[in-house]
């Protein structure tokens, strides 16, 4: 503390009448400009002198502007473009030694009065109101940005992906039956399950990038039972329907289609470079039922063969949305893009 300032503090501390301390002395103690300069700055920024501004705070604090509020709190030197600028007792007290701290506390206690305390209390309350408004606007802006981003993502997704997201599926997938149990097929079955999971990730992370989270809820039910060695379709259908009747198939796992892995795993040296093919079976197929259309469905026995990637987008969505019947699916894989995928063996994706 400078010698002349310390002398002022000591003189004020010794006075018996705090009202005898002039405004100029008060301003010097509180690190404020001289009264004339303070009023000039205050009027320049608010249209009021400091005394008039305090009276406004007492009479109608709800009409204080943000600038007026912070000039009362931080002084006339406060600049709205520089947060925290102005007078701060805490800041200049940081440079005081112990005896000076005690002297400063004594003087500030002596000079404090109910009027100034109430003026500052009302200004602080008004400042909190401004802060609440800013926080609310910031939160609203953040919500608008999030909503706009969500809208952009939704607009860029295919409709079927949006339907899947809208359903908020806790899990989804198919029941998959293993039908090969000869020596060496355990390892192939393990590899098959790994490829299946990796394919789901590839489909939703690489092709449907904005649908990546769907892969985390894909939970297929893998059935591995040696009693199903080389099982025919009728055996698999009966086993599946028994599971369905006993409520062993979790909600949102397809109950009107089962998948069959005829080989327990790939035979190629590098299975990651080739897709696998599965049979998708209608568990309720009835060969004696009449043909629902006039079209030739010869060769259709309630089963279609599809490349693995199609089981996790096109095929599942068919059942999820109930958008196609089995005869339509058969015609799709027989004469459309799916047949080309089966014949070429390349990994293709639903457009």
Pairing type for strands 277-281 and 303-307 reads antiparallel
Please state whether the predicted TM-score (pTM) of the whole model is above 0.85. Answer: no
| Whole-number Å distance between alpha carbons of 267 and 272 | 11
Q: Do residues 214 and 313 lie in contact, with contact meaning Cβ atoms separated by under 8 Å? A: no
Count structural domains, the chain: 2
Length of the chain: 351
Are 21 and 132 within one domain? yes
Are 186 and 112 within one domain? no
Q: Do residues 15 and 21 lie in contact, with contact meaning Cβ atoms separated by under 8 Å? A: yes
Distance of CA 166 to the CA centre of its chain: 15
* Terminal-residue alpha carbon distance, the chain: 77
| Whole-number Å distance between alpha carbons of 249 and 241 | 10
Q: Do residues 86 and 74 lie in contact, with contact meaning Cβ atoms separated by under 8 Å? A: yes
The helix/strand/coil state of 177 is: strand
Last residue of a domain, one of 108, 138, 168: 138
pLDDT at position 115, please?
A: 95
Q: Do residues 66 and 130 lie in contact, with contact meaning Cβ atoms separated by under 8 Å? A: yes
| Whole-number Å distance between alpha carbons of 158 and 31 | 65
Q: Does residue 146 lie within any of the structural domains? A: no
Digitized pLDDT (tens) for each residue of the chain, 351 residues in all: 788 988 998 999 998 888 999 999 999 988 899 999 999 999 999 999 999 999 999 999 999 999 999 999 999 998 877 776 766 554 556 667 778 888 888 998 899 999 999 999 999 999 999 999 999 999 999 999 999 998 998 888 888 888 888 888 899 999 999 999 999 899 999 988 988 888 888 888 876 767 788 888 999 999 999 999 999 999 999 999 999 999 999 999 999 999 998 754 444 544 445 568 899 999 999 888 766 665 667 778 899 988 888 888 888 888 888 888 888 888 888 754 444 333 333 333 232
Q: Does residue 147 lie within any of the structural domains? A: no
Are 166 and 285 within one domain? yes
Q: Does residue 143 lie within any of the structural domains? A: no
- Which DSSP helix (H) or strand (E) runs through 68? helix 66-74
Q: Does residue 150 lie within any of the structural domains? A: no
Are 289 and 249 within one domain? yes
Are 28 and 91 within one domain? yes
Q: Does residue 316 lie within any of the structural domains? A: yes
pLDDT at position 338, please?
A: 44
Are 129 and 174 within one domain? no
Structure token pair of residue 251? 């909600």
Give me the DSSP letters along 248-311: -S-TTEEEEEEEEESSSS--SS-GGGS--EEEEE-TT--TTSPPSSSS--TT-SSEEEEEHHHH
User: Nearest to residue 6, comparing CAs of 324, 14, 237?
Assistant: 14
Q: Within 10 Å of residue 99's Cβ, how many Cβ atoms?
A: 10
Last residue of a domain, one of 138, 172, 201: 138
pLDDT at position 296, please?
A: 65
| Whole-number Å distance between alpha carbons of 315 and 299 | 20
Q: Does residue 149 lie within any of the structural domains? A: no
pLDDT at position 125, please?
A: 97
Are 123 and 164 within one domain? no
Are 176 and 56 within one domain? no
| Whole-number Å distance between alpha carbons of 268 and 277 | 13
Full domain range(s) for residue 32:
3-138
pLDDT at position 269, please?
A: 43
| Whole-number Å distance between alpha carbons of 106 and 109 | 5
Q: Does residue 9 lie within any of the structural domains? A: yes
Structure token pair of residue 2? 């400078």
Residue 253, C-beta contacts closer than 8 angstroms, at least 6 positions apart:
171, 172, 173, 174, 175, 219, 220, 221
Are 218 and 119 within one domain? no
Are 134 and 43 within one domain? yes
Are 313 and 168 within one domain? yes
Structure token pair of residue 330? 């058969």
Q: Do residues 12 and 21 lie in contact, with contact meaning Cβ atoms separated by under 8 Å? A: yes
Q: Does residue 145 lie within any of the structural domains? A: no
Are 188 and 62 within one domain? no
């Amino acid at each position: 503390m400078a010698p002349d300032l310390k002398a002022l503090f000591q003189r004020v501390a010794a006075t018996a009448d705090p009202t005898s301390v002039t405004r100029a002395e008060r301003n010097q103690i509180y690190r404020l400009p001289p009264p004339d300069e303070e009023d000039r700055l205050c009027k320049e920024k608010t249209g009021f002198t400091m005394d008039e501004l305090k009276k406004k705070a007492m009479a109608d604090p709800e009409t204080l502007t943000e600038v007026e509020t912070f000039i009362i709190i931080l002084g006339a030197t406060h600049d709205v473009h520089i947060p925290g600028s102005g007078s701060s007792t805490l800041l200049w007290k940081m440079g005081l030694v112990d005896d000076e701290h005690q002297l400063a506390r004594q003087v500030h206690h002596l000079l404090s009065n109910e009027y100034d305390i109430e003026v500052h209390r009302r200004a602080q309350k008004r400042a909190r109101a401004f802060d609440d408004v800013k926080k609310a606007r910031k939160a609203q802006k953040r919500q608008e940005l999030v909503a706009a981003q969500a809208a952009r993502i939704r607009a860029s997704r295919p409709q079927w992906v949006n339907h899947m997201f809208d359903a908020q599926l806790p899990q989804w997938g198919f029941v998959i039956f293993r039908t090969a149990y000869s020596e060496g097929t355990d390892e192939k079955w393990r590899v098959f399950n790994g490829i299946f999971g990796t394919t789901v990730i590839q489909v939703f992370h690489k092709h449907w990038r904005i649908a990546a989270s769907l892969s985390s809820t894909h939970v297929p039910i893998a059935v591995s039972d040696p009693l199903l060695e080389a099982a025919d379709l009728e055996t698999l259908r009966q086993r599946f329907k028994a599971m369905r009747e006993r409520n062993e198939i979790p909600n949102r796992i397809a109950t009107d289609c089962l998948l069959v892995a005829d080989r327990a795993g790939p035979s190629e040296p590098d299975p990651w470079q080739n897709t696998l093919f599965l049979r998708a079976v209608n568990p309720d197929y009835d060969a004696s039922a009449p043909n629902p259309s006039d079209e030739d469905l010869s060769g259709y026995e309630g089963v279609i063969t599809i490349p693995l990637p199609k089981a996790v987008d096109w095929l599942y969505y068919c059942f999820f949305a109930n958008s196609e019947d089995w005869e339509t699916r058969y015609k799709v894989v027989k004469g459309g893009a799916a047949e080309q995928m089966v014949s070429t063996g390349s990994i293709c994706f639903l457009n």
